[in-house]
A and B are shown apart, each in its own frame.
Chain A
């Protein structure tokens, strides 16, 4: 079942458009007097993006090999029919939702994903602040069931690229709300601003990639509230523009916690528990922060 034509890499094709949109956003933000960009922050984000590309070239073969191996044992011969592309769009997006949700709910995957949230700015350069350690953390296993179902690995990679390109433009404060029907179905700048915010009521919400319907279906959707502007970053902001620190800080923190852990329960909790878990409850998870806020702030759910 060879590809009927070589599928393009959507991300590589989109790079010139990414650059033009970044330049446009910088100009619009400046014109509006918004404090959207900062040189060292943008440089860090773009370096993370470049590092992600380089590491994909170096290590991406591991995920490809695993996907091809699983595809050898596929349930169905799906092939490259038009309906297969149409069917893969929502299914890949569902896989993305769970990859993203698990990356926020379990510290070992959060360590690979946290760098994407580490900027205290929210602009198109933040979209490019991509992981350096996702392949090593094996976050790609979430997509393997698609290969097992029978979707060709090249088609899955193509759809992942489409999803990544879609998610670029939603990292902006320069687009307000879109028409209601779009906001109801699609992931939009408004929904994704909530996802990047650390306000307790916004924490760990809106995991969607392309379609926001998954969050509505699984109970993780929160709309942006104009009365509560988003504060961007992470609960404990790192305050560093050093790409190495950005990429590795949570891994270093896990290692330090493991060195202090006394039992296997503690070790497992530090690695597989939610970010903020501690055996003595001295730190707070997102759930605990939300619960505390709902007790102290009216409407702080």
Chain B
């Protein structure tokens, strides 16, 4: 790569634009909507041994909070895929009008937001605070 040749930068940049346009045109904007079955499967794969006893499924299907025998875990949509975090050392827990916000202190996911009916959100906030 020659840093003095503008084509060295132009070709990759134009190429990236073309590829992203093609991905968008091919339906690359899908977003996973989580449900209970998906969350259970994902927990079994990523946290073997974690048996969910209760779950809070976000109203938008973006994130699921699961209570297990030895703590909490979160399953969250990352585009068309899902990822899992075991929750430990939680920071601030806020609940307002059915919006439950957890500060995790995790560099990759500093917070999770759940929307639910206000009573349910308040109950889970209480459980998280121990």
A29 to B22 alpha-carbon distance, docked (Å)? 12
Q: Which residues of B contact A210 (CB under 8 A)?
A: none
How many whole Å from A275's CB to the nearest CB in chain B? 15
Q: Which residues of B contact A46 (CB under 8 A)?
A: 16, 19-20
B26 and A231 contact, CB distance less than 8 A: no
A39 and B107 contact, CB distance less than 8 A: no
A237 to B86 alpha-carbon distance, docked (Å)? 12
Give residues 124-147 of A contacting B (CB, 8 Å): 125
B3 and A57 contact, CB distance less than 8 A: yes
A239 and B108 contact, CB distance less than 8 A: yes
Give residues 233-250 of A contacting B (CB, 8 Å): 233, 235-241, 245, 248-249
Give the dominant DSSP class at A's interface: helix
The stretch of B51-59, B75-83, B115-123 that contacts the partner chain = B75-83
Q: Which residues of A contact B91 (CB under 8 A)?
A: none
Partner of B80, one of A22, A35, A235, A253: A35
Give residues 199-255 of A contacting B (CB, 8 Å): 231, 233, 235-241, 245, 248-249, 252-253
A175 CB-CB contact with B under 8 Å: no
0/1 per residue, B7-38, Cβ < 8 Å to A?
Answer: 01001110110111011101111100000000
Give residues 7-53 of A contacting B (CB, 8 Å): 9, 11-12, 15-16, 18-19, 22-23, 26-27, 29-30, 35, 37-43, 46, 49-50, 53
Q: Which residues of B contact A235 (CB under 8 A)?
A: 46
A195 CB-CB contact with B under 8 Å: no
Q: Which residues of A contact B67 (CB under 8 A)?
A: none
Partner of B19, one of A26, A53, A241, A248: A26
How many whole Å from B51's CB to the nearest CB in chain A? 14
B45 CB-CB contact with A under 8 Å: yes
Q: Which residues of B contact A125 (CB under 8 A)?
A: 19
B1 and A40 contact, CB distance less than 8 A: no
7 contacts between A and B (CB under 8 A): A23-B18, A37-B23, A38-B29, A46-B19, A120-B78, A231-B45, A233-B83
A-B complex: 9 closest residue pairs judged by Cβ atoms: A239-B83, A239-B78, A19-B15, A237-B83, A39-B28, A120-B81, A30-B26, A252-B107, A238-B108
